A and B are shown apart, each in its own frame.
Chain A
Amino acid sequence: MYVEINLLSIAVVLFLLPLAGALIAGLFGKQIGRSATHWVAITLVGCSFLLSCYLFAAIVLLGHPPVEGVIYNWVTTGNYHFDVAILLDHLSVTMLFIVNFVSFMVHIYTVGYMADDPGYQRFFSYVSLFTFSMLILVLANNFLLLFFGWEGVGLVSYLLIGFWFKRDSAVDGGLKAFIANRIGDVGFVLAIAAVLTYFNSLDYHTVFNHVPAVLGQTIRILPHIHAHVITVICVLLFIGAMAKSAQIPLHVWLPESMEGPTPISALIHAATMVTAGIYMVARMSPLFEYSPAALSLVLILGATTCLFMGFLAVVQQDIKRVIAYSTISQLGYMAVALGASAYDVAIFHLMTHAFFKALLFLAAGSVIIALHHEQDMRKMGGLAPYMPITYLTFAIGALALAAIPPFAGFYSKDAIIEAVHLSTTPGAHYAYLCVLAGAFVTPLYIFRALFLTFHGKKRHEGAVNESPWVVLVPLIALAIPSIIAGGMLIGPMLFSTPHLLGDSIFVLPQHDVLTAWAVDYKGAQTMALDASHTLPFWLAVSGIAAAWIFNMARPEWSDMLKKRFSWFYEILIDKYGFDKFNQVVVVQGTRRLGEFFYKVCDLMMIDGIFVNGSGRFIRLFARVGRHLQTGYIYHYALAMLLGLAVLLGWFVLGF
């Protein structure tokens, strides 16, 4: 029924469509006008979305075997072949579906959100270009093409954060994002180099098949310190993932990325790009499985990120920054799942999170445009009656994020907590505490945002109207999976045999937490109904209650707490001092070092002493030498006579 070549060519068309959209919008946007631009871009991404549905159906639902194919040879050098080649398997088509769905929604939403922006066409061009890069990232069958997509999304993220380039804060945010990501890329590139050195190939399947052969090998890092090759590769890969997926300490760029327009916060900085690191680690599960040390690192960093970034969300006043810190925290949850070897669970949470977090961002965006680009929650309040659909959808997103059954987030987050509980990876106890505490913090911050924005007294002056349908349709379209996706997919993704992700994920038997949990699992409905017997559920409920008490019922209590624990509050407002450290040590330090090398080494030493110094020396030499040439004949005559005398003397006496 399906011929291989067909699936491959469909995949090629699928990722070329958004590229075509980007080129048309970017090169000819001004000529064809605004509405033509958005029609073209939306239609092309829509077609791409339909094709990804088709591929999802073919491979996941109908069980077509994975397809791989080379599009063209990029570089051949020595024994190495680097190809532009794609892989269609369960994981990649699932990701295609998520990416294209959210991207399609965001494209539509943009029509409303960016309606009076002079950079309308440029924005569409960027968003389509982003979609293209993200599809490349997902479709790659080798580390190199993965890196192409990885850098492509980074570039577009940089461009989009700085979209309003006349605003310094936006441009700074973009630059910060790019450089933070490049720090991660150093790790990623080195990981690729290590893979090439030890596996002689960059193709996933070749690499994964040769893991046993490389297992015992070590790299000498320092004269007496050797490390396992697999561990080195995994740690380096995770450094890349840390930057992209905003894990401590490379998370600093994500809050700043909120300077960009809201649609891209939803698409790039919540649903897709930031999850690329999670996707990458899941994709590399055949490597990570063999490195307990790397898994531990992922687990511990993820758990730390998940809890401590959640705290920060509680004290933010900007609605987008609340959601941004929430995103970092949720990415921490996903990383925890990865560290516990529950890769399927991580992708499951990635998927539900993509829906409800994009929904939250877009709903927040709907509020922001209604209030004419006001983002401060202290100036909102009481908006629910004016924007019923926005309110309802935001509430759905908040419930899903807070892990209230039966919303999507409940299933995926509970699965993570359960997986960590069962995990034997070193650090799992710490991680378990963190994710449990996170279960309380998450509802606290998101319901704080909900109450401050939609409930209580209206603090905004001027009329507020519900957003137009182009904004509401994507909200509704995202609200539906935010409700049902969890219950629908938990069975197929985690407990059916084979799993929805099939062979894309590899787990060693001793790390397999899902099988251990499957014994207790009795279906999605039972899980939701039994939630009241579990600790996470009550933590979530008390989180909502706390948010209500401290923000609505007894707001004075929150001020009291702030005063009582002012030292802690200060730390939170200071964001643990990461920004200060980076500014003072990293940025200033680099600049000082550069100044030193330039002013002292280059200008003073090399130029001052050697280059101009030798110039001066020659001039001095010439000045002295010049006295020998006076131009007076009697000087020369005297010199000749003296010379003759010396020579004669030497001749006579010497022999």
Chain B
Amino acid sequence: MWFEHNILSILIWLPVLGAVAALLSKGDKAARLIASGFSIVNLLLCIPLYLAFDTSSFAMQFQENHLWISAYKIHYAIGVDGISLAMIMLTNFTGLLVILAGCQAIKVRVAQYMAAFLIMQGMMIGVFAATDAILFYVFWEGMLIPMYLSIGMWGSSNRNYAAVKFFLYTFLGSILMLVALLYLYIQTGSFDIQHFYSLHLSMHVQKLLFFAFLLAFAVKVPMWPVHTWLPDAHTEAPAGGSVVLAALMLKLGIYGFLRFSMPIVPEACEYMAWFMIVLSLIAIIYIGLVAIVQTDMKKLIAYSSISHMGFATLGCFMMYEIIRRMSSVPDAYMSLEGAVIQMISHAFGSGAMFLGVGILADRLASHSRQIKDYRGVAARMPIFAAFFMLFAMSNVGLPGTAGFVGEFMVIMSAFQAHFWIAMVAALTLILASAYTLWMYKRVFFGPIVSDEVAAMQDLNWLETTNYVLLAIGVFFLGLYPAPVLNLLHVTIGHILSLSMPA
């Protein structure tokens, strides 16, 4: 097709164009329509992208390359491999959900809200598509601004604290990454990420680079102990912001590990593997326990996200231990692919649950997120309760839902790495069901708590549409993950070979 050569650029800039159009539009209704239209088109554009993608090649595809700043040889260079393609499709899917949910929930400054999320979507696609380190960095930081604004403007009572905490945390993290990128530029004379892979750096340098990257990515994931921004950001953000945070932004950290840390400084990664494994296990157990005692639904889901992301980081860094113990490389596939699947599947379950909290809060005058303010919702909103049960089960990791696949693959791999890693990781089966279902019980079951809950209306058609889309995602990934994995195999294999210590 005619647009195939520029399809990635279109995907990145079309939402930005949509944002401008939404801002210029007259009236809230027009802004909603324009934003929905642009995000639907963007999602549809993923179809030709997916169909034309060659799964048998690990090379970057749909490449575009233009010199941007000649003095520093910075290029506008974009392209996708299996992982970034999967993430771009996920971004567009989530983008549409968020816009649709926003059409309903947002009543003030609608055009600006739509614009902020469309720009965020564009920036996010840019991050996943960039093959030039500076371009990557620009998108990486660029996406912070609309996120910061969305928390600060449409957030709830304590939004200023949360927004500043979010911004400083993530910004301070990524500043060291910029230093690392500059160092790599001096070494290679180029900002092309591919060129970084062929560097042979001394262990000392590798360790320094590893920590520079680690700080940036660990904050994003977030890993224990740099996770405390997330619960605050989530609770204060509007529902759409929470969805984007959970479904997409956290994944950038894992993506960074896979794209930068592991292939560029493999020896350091191997050296630090146990450190990372322990941090991941702390995330799984400690954060799981913290999630149990939350009284705020959004905080609970936020902590549960951190715990789930622990599986993704565990899957990434366990590969070194697996290769060492099993002395076979194919065994490590499951670990890495499990991590990537966990990234994708988590988007559906937690995204849906955050939307659900938004749906509940919308129906209460106080917009409360406190568990105690709800009880017996199932009696009034049976359809919503059924959907939420499905997503809760995905969060619990029930087989047949999206949440199971990644968790299962990582636990299977963990046993190959070490008995006790698997043992500790598997405790999530208990913890996740405890915090998720205990919350579900207190919100949905039991006698109706107040007249306000008694007056709740079940899902309207727009909310139902959103949930049907998410339910399809949850079932598809849970029952038939093979196509998604098929997209990943070759790319994962390539990353694996790059990440092997020499």
Residues on A lying within 8 angstroms of B by beta carbon are 72-80, 144, 147-148, 151-152, 155, 158-159, 162, 165-166, 168, 171-172, 175, 178-179, 182-183, 185-186, 189-190, 192-194, 196-197, 219-221, 590-591, 593-595, 597-598, 601-602, 606-607, 610-611
Contacts and interface: CB of A to CB of B under 8 A. Distances in A.
Interface in B325-360: 330-334, 337-338
B334 A78 contact: yes
Interface residues of B, number: 58
Residue from B225, B291, B408, B412 having most chain A Cβ neighbours under 10 A: B412
Interface in B58-110: none
For A159, A166, A192, the residue with the greatest tally of chain B CB atoms inside 10 Å of its CB is A166
Interface in B364-406: 376, 378-379, 389, 393, 398-400, 405
B343 to A, nearest CB: 15
A591 to B, nearest CB: 6
B438 A193 contact: no
A275 B489 CA distance: 39
B372 to A, nearest CB: 15
Interface in B2-42: none
A590 B438 CA distance: 13
Contact of B412 (A162, A193, A591): A193
Nearest to B325: A197
Given A196-B412, A594-B292, A77 B433 contact: no
B45 interface: no
A185 B429 contact: yes
Contact of A190 (B379, B422, B441, B446): B422
B206 interface: no
B429 A189 contact: yes
Q: Is the interface of A mostly helix, strand, loop or mixed?
A: helix
B213 interface: no
Nearest to B169: A611
B434 A590 contact: yes
Interface stretch (B135-143, B246-254, B479-487): B479-487
Contact of B415 (A165, A168, A193): A193
Contact of B430 (A147, A162, A183): A183
A318 B399 CA distance: 35
B430 A179 contact: yes
B422 A165 contact: no
Interface in B169-199: 169
B495 interface: no
Interface centre among A77, A148, A220, A602 (most CB of B within 10 A): A77
Nearest to B493: A78
Contacts of A76: 482, 485-486, 489
Contacts of B289: 590, 593-594, 597
A606 B226 CA distance: 8
Interface in B464-502: 479-482, 485-486, 489
B363 interface: no
B293 interface: yes
B415 A78 contact: no
A74 B478 CA distance: 9
Contacts of A593: 289
Given A75-B485, A76-B485, A606-B228, A190 B423 contact: yes
Contacts of A78: 330-334, 337
A158 B399 CA distance: 15
Contacts, number: 139
B444 interface: yes
B405, B429, B479 — most chain A CB neighbours (10 Å)? B429
A416 B447 CA distance: 47
Given A186-B430, A189-B411, A606-B228, 14 more contacts: A74-B480, A75-B481, A77-B409, A79-B330, A148-B400, A166-B446, A179-B434, A182-B429, A182-B433, A186-B426, A189-B408, A190-B426, A197-B415, A591-B292
B399 A186 contact: no
A395 B486 CA distance: 59
B445 A171 contact: yes
B161 to A, nearest CB: 9
Given A175-B441, A193-B412, A165 B378 contact: yes
B144 interface: no
A147 B169 CA distance: 41
A10 to B, nearest CB: 22
B332 to A, nearest CB: 7
A193 B430 contact: no
9 contacts: A74-B479, A76-B482, A77-B334, A78-B337, A79-B333, A152-B400, A182-B433, A189-B429, A594-B292
B444 to A, nearest CB: 7
B412 A192 contact: yes
A590 B292 contact: yes
Chain B CB count within 10 A is highest, among A182, A186, A192, A194, for A182
A207 B291 CA distance: 38
B480 A72 contact: yes
A611 B165 contact: yes
Contacts of B485: 75-77
| 5 A-B pairs with least C-beta separation | A78-B333, A193-B415, A78-B330, A594-B293, A594-B289
Interface of B: 165, 169, 225, 228-229, 286, 289-294, 330-334, 337-338, 376, 378-379, 389, 393, 398-400, 405, 408-409, 411-412, 414-416, 419, 422-423, 426-427, 429-430, 433-434, 437-438, 441, 444-447, 479-482, 485-486, 489
Nearest to A164: B445
A258 to B, nearest CB: 18
Contacts of A606: 225, 228
Contacts of A166: 376, 379, 445-447
B334 A80 contact: yes
Nearest to A191: B415
Contacts of B225: 606, 610
Contacts of A591: 292-293
A594 B332 CA distance: 33
B292 A193 contact: no
A598 B288 CA distance: 10
Contact of B419 (A80, A152, A186, A220): A220
Given A166-B376, A591-B293, A597 B286 contact: yes
Contact of A193 (B398, B414, B427, B482): B414
A193 B423 CA distance: 10
Given A75-B485, A611-B165, A165 B429 contact: no
Contacts of B422: 190, 193
A322 B455 CA distance: 41
Given A166-B379, A193-B411, A193-B422, A73 B399 contact: no
Contacts of A610: 225
Given A148-B399, A151-B399, A602-B228, A75 B433 contact: no
A219 B423 CA distance: 13
Contacts of B419: 219-221
A610 B338 CA distance: 33
Contacts of B445: 162, 165-166, 168, 171
A558 to B, nearest CB: 38
A74 B379 contact: no
B212 to A, nearest CB: 19
Contacts of B416: 193, 197
Nearest to B434: A179
- The winner among A155, A158, A219 for most chain B CB atoms within 10 A is A155
A75 B290 contact: no
A189 B423 CA distance: 9
A171 B408 CA distance: 28
A79 B416 CA distance: 14
Contact of A74 (B169, B291, B441, B482): B482
A236 B433 CA distance: 20
B415 A196 contact: yes
Given A77-B409, A598-B290, A178 B433 contact: yes
B433 A179 contact: yes
B411 to A, nearest CB: 6
A305 B361 CA distance: 47
